[in-house]
Structure 1
Amino acid sequence: MLPLGYLSQLLAPERTTANRAILLAWTVTNGTQAPREMQLRATLATHYGQDSVINAGTGSGKTLPIALNILLDDPQAQGITLTISPLKRLEITQENDFKLRYGIPTIAINEDTPREDKYWHQNMFSLATISSPPSPSLSDSLSSPSTSESSPAPFSTFVPTHS
């Protein structure tokens, strides 16, 4: 269920970004996830350069805002997102979620990570050469790198049609 009340209160640029985030979540998860209000609030805060803190229990959806901000980024910028996890088990879970659920190239780095050059070239440096997410045409239409934040592309240009 989409948080329509929350979405209706947003200004046009934020509402456009929120709608892009909703479409991205729905698309990369094959229709299994749509962000809740808490997740959209955190996603928008980070996207617009504000801090956000989510105090929520295990399995409540704290990973989705991180993934959405990565997916909302301009792929041409080839940015790197660093997520610090306090537990190795959480690192592994997040690495798998980012890779398998959201299609985001990810590597967990901790004291157990091999230090040999071969490992880094096969894992880390190969991630840097990946320039397109799993659905390039969708991602290209949902990202607006050439559009300023004050005048985002109209939402109607990326509403998928159903046959």
Structure 2
Amino acid sequence: MPKIVLVYPEIPPNTGNIARTCAATATELHLVEPLGFELSDRYLKRAGLDYWPHVNLQVHPNLGSFYQYQQSRGGRLIGFTTKSTYSYVEIKYQEDDWLLFGSESQGLPETLLESCEHTAKIPMLHDSVRSLNLSVSAAIGLFEALRQLDHLSFPAEIK
């Protein structure tokens, strides 16, 4: 199952919304410190509602610690960035992918992007819009990966 990684997230409600998405999809959520908030932040907890017990959350004290953990588990790093030339739908996702998203104000660090096997962008039709909200971007990327990997099942009567 792909994993979501937030590198240096800054806005508690975005991380809370992403946590709720991860709970709903049984997706691991990895946070790389420093965070722009405390994990006890009431806005973070509010956005995640009462789903926090269902979130498989891992917090890494720094990028080096995350790299070490990721390498021990394997899988590709896929960095989501407005700088990519590939659309997120052009990526052929794999079960052990790590979907990386950067901070709301800075995106992913350049050094991290260089270590990604693939980068992906979410195309936007209006040139004056620089980026989408972090929680929206993470949901778009995750659901495309889950769709491709056939992890989105519906009852037979809906199909």
Q: Give the TM-score taking structure 2 as reference length.
A: 0.26
Larger Rg: 1
Q: Give the TM-score taking structure 1 as reference length.
A: 0.25
- Going by fraction, where is helix more abundant, 1 or 2? 1
